[in-house]
Structures are given as C-alpha cells and as structure tokens.
C-alpha cells in the first residue's frame, strides 16, 4: 500500500495556494456553501416553464417526511385519469389508506420470507438482508397496483394523513423492532418443528397486533363511505354508500395490467428487450411481481411522448438529487460547474454510476409535459410530491440530457410498445438479486 508522503502534501498546498481559480472557489464556498457558489447561471436561464405538450397542472401533493414518492406519483396518475373522466377539479386519493395496507402486507410478506429461510444461519446474506430492513416506505409501480387491485381507493377526505404517516421515522423504528422480535420467534418455531397449526396461530396473532399498531398510527381504514363532490360545472354528485373497490371501479376504471414498467440501463449485463424481476421486492404474498423491460433511452423518450400526446402523464423513477437546482426547480446536468470550480468531471456513464453505487433510482414522480422542437424533446415538465413551495408551485423542469442520464424507469400503456418489445416483456424474467440497485427506493 502507498502512504501519503508529507513532501507531496506540502507541494499540493503550495500549488493550491498559487492557483487563483481554486482560491476564488474556496472563498465563495466557505462563505456560501458548495452548490450556491458553483451555479451555472447561463444554463439556468435558458429553461423557461413552457411546454408544447402540457397535460397536467393539478395542485401538487406533499409526502413530507415519508418515503412514499412511488405511491404519491402513482396516485397522481390515477387521480388525473379520474378527474378528467368525471370533471372533478383537484381530486385526491388517500395515500394513508394504501399506506396502511402496504405496511400490513409487507409485515406478513416479511414473516413468510423469515419462515422460508429459517433453516439458514443468521450470517446468510438473505437472512441478514431481511433482518436489516423488515419493511420500509420505498416501493415501485407494481406494488401500488397490487394494493389497488386488492383494496381499492378512497378519497383523501375519507382517510386523511396522520402525523405518523407524514413523518414515518418513529413508526418505522418501532415497527421494525417488533417485526424482528416476531421473526426470532418464527425461526425458533420452525427450527423446533412446530406444527403448521401452531405456526399459523402465531402468524394470526402477529398480524392482528400489526393491524392494531397501524390503526393507532394511521387511523382505521373504512369498509365503505359516501363520496360527495361538485364537478367543474358546479353540479352536485353523491355516490351513496360505496366500498373502496367500487370507488376505484367507478372513478378510475382502467385495466392496470395494461401499464407496464420499462427500465433503461445500457450494459452488457442487462441486454435490451429482456425482462427482469427482483428477488424479495414484493409487498404482499401472491402479489404480482415487479417486472421491468430494458429498452434503449430513445425508446423511453419516444414511448413517454406517445402517452403524453394521448393526454396522459407518465410515471417515472429517477435519481432526483443529482444536479438538482432547487430555486429554479431545474434538473439539468449543467446546473453546476464542477470542472471549472473544483477541477474534476462527473463523467461516469449511466451503467458505471449504477455499478459503482454512484447513482440509483431513488425517487418517483410524474412527467406531465414535454417541449418538442422539430419533434425532438428539449425539456420535460415534472410533477413532484414535495408540496407547492419547491420549483414552479411543485413542478420541475427536467432537461432532456438529465432525463437521459438519471431516469431509470417509466410506466406506459403497453399499446405503445412494438411487437418485439411486448415479446421481450412476456419472456421469463431474469431474476436480479435482492441487493440490486435497480429497485426504486
């Protein structure tokens, strides 16, 4: 191993102090912070908030201090569809309702995986993974589909957000401790050859306890309710008594199986036109598994534009904090001048960034528009779920190059796909390991 040499460090110091560019950067950064000091103002000024195709300007929602972006963005897609169909302004579906069942189902899914791995030692990588995070807030499009198919939807007014739903760290800390204790008992039961009846009795008791915990934290989900509203023409409507499943069928009524998730990662490890699954990524027993079709980036852009042209937004997952300039609500690879200011380039390609853990899908949002010049996209309109105080009343501008570099997944109707792409999606998926970075967190 090569150790740092004190003479070399002295040379580094002298050279730094004699380089005016670096000293100027130092003065600015010490006083103002890194990003505030290296903003590329010319890049910021070239993006205005206008789009040739613009499908959605609903009020944005706010996930606050919770990791539910995947859920909020998917609910934003569904509410857009419902609001357009029924002429309702700013309709919102309840995230708390689905969050309750997501946590309940994930706990049971965790128990089943603990039982399946009970004969493995605690040092086993899969067992270690399970105990490290029994459940979490993050997720993906298909997990939302599983929840809606089984539990339906309710309007936000029927089950509003509680404090633990908006700030989940306390609940997750306590709930994961409880699940780990349960897991120890389940492993002991399996390894002492408990009967299936005894095992099921313990599972029922544990799931009942979880239901009570979540009811205390989020409120108890309704079995039925009445939804009353005025449409855009100020005509009053009432559903009468309705269940969450009936509400979904009445107000959304789309076949969620028609919407499939695509990924983009150009790498020999991930051939295009091949589908991929991820081990241990479900949120419920017998839930539909996550499946991605890997396609080139030009196909991602083309398919997103086709859906936008039909008047529907596009769910997508990205690495949102990469080169994000908050005051302008801008996602651009040129927002910050790292090379001129610090003397290095952030120039790994997309596959390298994922492989070496520099980047991964961390956040889901909704593409609501695109600006086309000669049929080529230059920038995209994005609806976030961080409330109206960021960006343009909660909306962002995403440059086309930023989309190329940091967007990993989109969800579109499968009718836009070619026959070859559909065939690739229907292939038996290659199962990625549970530690893959291609799972939206």
Task: Give dist(CA 332, CA 323) in Å, integer.
Answer: 6
Q: One of 58, 69, 176, 409 is an active-site residue; which one?
A: 69
Radius of gyration of the chain (CA): 24
Task: Give dist(CA 117, CA 128) in Å, integer.
Answer: 11
The number of beta carbons lying within 10 Å of the beta carbon of residue 12 is 11
Is 384 a residue of the active site? yes
Phi-psi region of 205 (alpha: psi -120 to 50; beta: other; left: phi over 0): alpha
- At 265, give phi and psi (nearest 5°): -150, 105
The residue among 259, 282, 346 whose CA lies nearest residue 110 is 282
Task: Enter the DSSP assignment of 221.
Answer: P
The residue among 145, 428, 177 whose CA lies nearest residue 282 is 145
Spell out the residues 6+ positions from residue 397 whose beta carbon is closer than 8 angstroms to its own. Answer: 47, 49, 328, 329, 330, 331, 332, 379, 380, 381, 382, 391
3-state secondary structure of 62: strand
Is residue 126 packed enough to be buried (19+ CB in 10 Å), middle (13-18) or exposed (0-12)?
Answer: middle
The number of beta carbons lying within 10 Å of the beta carbon of residue 80 is 20
Task: Give dist(CA 312, CA 37) in Å, integer.
Answer: 39
3-state secondary structure of 65: strand
Q: One of 58, 172, 282, 384 is an active-site residue; which one?
A: 384
Is 212 a residue of the active site? no
Is 363 a residue of the active site? yes
Spell out the residues 6+ positions from residue 431 whose beta carbon is closer than 8 angstroms to its own. Answer: 276, 277, 278, 279
Task: Give dist(CA 251, CA 37) in Å, integer.
Answer: 49
Task: Give dist(CA 175, CA 213) in Å, integer.
Answer: 8
Q: One of 40, 363, 368, 409 is an active-site residue; which one?
A: 363
**Residues labelled as active-site residues:** 69, 363, 384
């Amino acid at each position: 191993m090569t150790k740092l040499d004190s003479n070399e460090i002295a040379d580094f110091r002298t050279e730094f102090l004699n380089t005016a560019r670096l000293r100027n950067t130092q003065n600015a950064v010490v006083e103002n912070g890194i990003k505030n000091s290296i903003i590329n103002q010319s890049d910021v000024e070239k993006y205005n908030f206008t789009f040739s195709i613009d499908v959605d300007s609903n009020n944005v929602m706010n996930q606050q201090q919770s990791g539910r972006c995947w859920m909020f963005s998917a609910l934003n897609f569904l509410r857009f569809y419902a609001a357009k169909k029924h002429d309702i302004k700013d309709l919102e579906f309840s995230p708390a309702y689905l969050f309750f069942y997501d946590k309940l189902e994930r706990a049971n899914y965790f128990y089943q995986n603990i039982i399946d791995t009970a004969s493995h030692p605690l040092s086993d990588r899969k067992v270690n993974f399970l105990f490290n995070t029994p459940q979490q807030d993050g997720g993906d499009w298909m997990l939302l589909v599983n929840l809606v198919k089984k539990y339906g939807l309710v309007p936000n007014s029927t089950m509003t957000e509680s404090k633990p739903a908006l700030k989940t760290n306390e609940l997750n800390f306590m709930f994961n401790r409880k699940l780990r204790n349960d897991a120890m008992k389940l492993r002991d039961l399996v390894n002492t050859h408990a009967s299936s009846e005894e095992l099921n009795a313990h599972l029922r008791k544990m799931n009942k306890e979880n239901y009570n915990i979540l009811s205390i934290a989020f409120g108890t989900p309704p079995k039925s309710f009445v939804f009353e509203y005025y449409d855009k023409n100020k005509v009053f409507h009432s559903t009468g008594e309705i269940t969450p499943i009936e509400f979904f069928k009445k107000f959304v009524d789309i076949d969620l199986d028609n919407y499939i998730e695509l990924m983009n990662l150009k790498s020999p490890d991930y051939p295009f036109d091949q589908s991929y699954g991820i081990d241990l990524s479900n949120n419920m027993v017998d839930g539909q598994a996550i499946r991605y079709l890997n396609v080139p980036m030009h196909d991602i852009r083309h398919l997103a534009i086709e859906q936008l042209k039909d008047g529907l937004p596009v769910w997508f997952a990205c690495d949102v904090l990469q080169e994000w300039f908050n005051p302008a609500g801008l996602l651009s690879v040129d927002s910050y001048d790292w090379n001129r200011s610090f003397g290095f380039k952030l120039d790994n390609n997309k596959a390298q960034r994922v492989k070496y853990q520099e980047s991964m899908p961390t956040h889901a949002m909704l593409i609501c528009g695109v600006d086309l010049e000669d049929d080529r996209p230059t920038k995209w309109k994005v609806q976030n779920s961080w409330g109206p105080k960021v960006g343009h009343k909660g909306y962002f501008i995403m440059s086309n190059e930023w989309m190329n570099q940091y967007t990993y997944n989109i969800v579109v109707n499968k009718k836009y796909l070619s026959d070859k792409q559909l065939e690739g999606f229907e292939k038996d998926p290659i199962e990625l390991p549970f530690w893959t970075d291609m799972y939206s967190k």
